[in-house]
Chains A and B, each alone.
Chain A
């Protein structure tokens, strides 16, 4: 398993931020996970959008997220489809259902023996090629 420091040296593609999503990545740079919340139907939204995908309201506001969630599924990548990621293979990715409702895909850290359906997860920001990204790990 890759040491956490190994990620800093990876030459992997970073996020292709847009003007709309930039606040999410700016917050990540400060070690904060934020989500949009719809002011009309009150549901949380991820990934960032111009309108709420539930009710189509355009009244969306950024809110601090709890950073907690549960593991929905995962995979240990032995052979990455992206050559630059192969340097830290095998590594784990997974889908995390955030406490606020939305699901997001992320890199998963920690003891793989603990990977299980609905395992409790906690966000952990990791520097990858100079960018702070919201990874997740099993919360104990």
Chain B
């Protein structure tokens, strides 16, 4: 048994949907939580820790208590993790830390969202609302477009380089019947022909927002061993938060995942070229490009050559986002980040039906929130 910070013993996921009518966030949380706890072979009463996200539409405050009450749980540790797309990976580390600190033994980490046809406008009164929005910069597309533009202007990277990432995600989604783009592959040419949304960002380089949910169950290494069920060890973790608004970003071509990944790998004692799966947060193609360069598998500006040189499918030499990534699977809001954890667990347990990487032992999972602002990285290992 590898030394680990904790173990992931169960996962659950909801099929992404374009919209939900009448569904509640609490109801969806309950369904995905049930799947994860059943997958772990545990009784609900075994869950004594609860980590939830901030977006529970029905309740702006007291979110953990509201979710716990709905689920009939009485946790001895309950909290909100509010790191945007890094929340999923960030929950796993916090769960392991809370268990190590003696706060609880088994933690349910759960994220889910509904999706209305017309989403309500943000009630923000933060600096972004005051100093960015009045100039015409609303939404994430505008900010990631500027991150991509900075990469192209700095390194001369080509649109086709980025399109390769989107096409690879769509190709991998063809092996995941749950993915929103299952049955809908896209070639590099298709990506390049998709409409320009915010230059240089095109439609197929942007995740499709969906409703859905994703959950994992984390427990101690000791308890996981006693359970005698398939489990995955958390071998290393790292996190970094550097800014919120893109106008305050320290660097447009390197993000907080760089130190977060370095810390996670140092703790696990592994190198960047040792991973059997890269499960990298991919809200946009540029996020994968920057993460590959920050990881160090290629030099800054050279992601395009790296992507061309490797097979990114489950049967390739560098499997990347084998569930299709969020670009292929769909982005169920904050749960989108957790899909990268769930896929890594499946691959490392040998249960990724129809897309299993042979002998998968080591995976890197990344989460990214806001405008390349919040970063969380996990090194996960097979139970050997």
The interface-forming segment of A16-24, A34-42, A57-65 is: A16-24
A82 touches which one: B133, B150, B153, B200 (CB < 8 A)? B133
Q: Which of A77-93 contact B (CB under 8 A)?
A: 77-82, 85, 88, 91, 93
Contacts of A106 in B (CB 8 A): 135
| B240-272 contact mask (Cβ, 8 Å, vs A): 1 or 0 | 000001111100100000000000000000000
Quick check: B136 and A75 within 8 Å, CB to CB?
A: no
Quick check: B135 and A13 within 8 Å, CB to CB?
A: no
The interface-forming segment of B38-46, B191-199, B334-342 is: B191-199
Quick check: A78 and B142 within 8 Å, CB to CB?
A: no
Q: Does A43 contact B (CB under 8 A)?
A: no
Contacts of B149 in A (CB 8 A): 73-75
Contacts of A135 in B (CB 8 A): 135
Q: Does A101 contact B (CB under 8 A)?
A: no
| A50-76 contact mask (Cβ, 8 Å, vs B): 1 or 0 | 000000000000000000000011111
Q: Which of B139-159 contact A (CB under 8 A)?
A: 139-142, 145-147, 149-150, 153-154
Look across to chain B and name the residue whose beta carbon is closest to the beta carbon of A135: B135
Quick check: B247 and A103 within 8 Å, CB to CB?
A: yes
Q: Does B120 contact A (CB under 8 A)?
A: no
Q: Which of B213-249 contact A (CB under 8 A)?
A: 245-249
| B116-132 contact mask (Cβ, 8 Å, vs A): 1 or 0 | 00000000010101111
Q: In the complex the two chains form, what is the Cα distance from A81 to B246 in whole Å?
A: 16
Number of interface residues of A (CB under 8 A): 37
A107 touches which one: B136, B140, B252 (CB < 8 A)? B136
Quick check: B146 and A77 within 8 Å, CB to CB?
A: no
Quick check: B141 and A81 within 8 Å, CB to CB?
A: yes
Q: Which of A88-116 contact B (CB under 8 A)?
A: 88, 91, 93-95, 103-107, 116
Contacts of A5 in B (CB 8 A): none
Quick check: B248 and A15 within 8 Å, CB to CB?
A: no
Quick check: A74 and B141 within 8 Å, CB to CB?
A: no
Return B198 CB to nearest CB of chain A, in Å: 5
Quick check: B145 and A82 within 8 Å, CB to CB?
A: no
Look across to chain B and name the residue whose beta carbon is closest to the beta carbon of A104: B247
Q: Does B201 contact A (CB under 8 A)?
A: yes
With contacts A47-B127, A77-B198, A79-B197 known, is A13 near B133, CB below 8 A? Answer: yes
Look across to chain A and name the residue whose beta carbon is closest to the beta carbon of B141: A81
Quick check: A77 and B136 within 8 Å, CB to CB?
A: yes
Number of interface residues of B (CB under 8 A): 36
Q: In the complex the two chains form, what is the Cα distance from A47 to B129 in whole Å?
A: 12
Contacts of A116 in B (CB 8 A): 153
Contacts of A91 in B (CB 8 A): 136
**What is the interface of chain B mostly: helix, strand, loop, or mixed?**
helix
Q: In the complex the two chains form, what is the Cα distance from A8 to B92 in whole Å?
A: 49
The winner among A85, A88, A131, A135 for most chain B CB atoms within 10 A is A85
Quick check: B199 and A93 within 8 Å, CB to CB?
A: no
Q: Does B358 contact A (CB under 8 A)?
A: no
Q: Does B137 contact A (CB under 8 A)?
A: yes
Contacts of A16 in B (CB 8 A): 125, 129-130
Quick check: B138 and A15 within 8 Å, CB to CB?
A: no
Quick check: B135 and A95 within 8 Å, CB to CB?
A: no
Q: In the complex the two chains form, what is the Cα distance from A5 to B35 in whole Å?
A: 57
Q: In the complex the two chains form, what is the Cα distance from A73 to B153 in whole Å?
A: 8
Contacts of B150 in A (CB 8 A): 72-73, 117
Q: In the complex the two chains form, what is the Cα distance from A29 to B149 in whole Å?
A: 31
Quick check: A12 and B136 within 8 Å, CB to CB?
A: yes
With contacts A95-B247, A103-B247 known, is A77 near B142, CB below 8 A? Answer: yes
Q: In the complex the two chains form, what is the Cα distance from A85 to B198 in whole Å?
A: 13
Q: In the complex the two chains form, what is the Cα distance from A128 to B135 in whole Å?
A: 9
**B: which residues have CB within 8 A of A?**
125, 127, 129-142, 145-147, 149-150, 153-154, 195-201, 245-249, 252
Query: 11 A-B residue contacts at CB 8 Å?
Result: A15-B134, A16-B130, A73-B146, A75-B149, A81-B142, A82-B133, A91-B136, A93-B135, A93-B146, A95-B252, A117-B153
A82-B133, A105-B132 known, 12 other contacts, Cβ within 8 Å: A14-B134, A21-B130, A72-B150, A73-B150, A73-B252, A75-B145, A79-B141, A79-B195, A82-B139, A105-B247, A117-B154, A133-B135
Give 4 nearest A-B pairs by CB, closest first. A81-B139, A75-B145, A82-B138, A73-B150
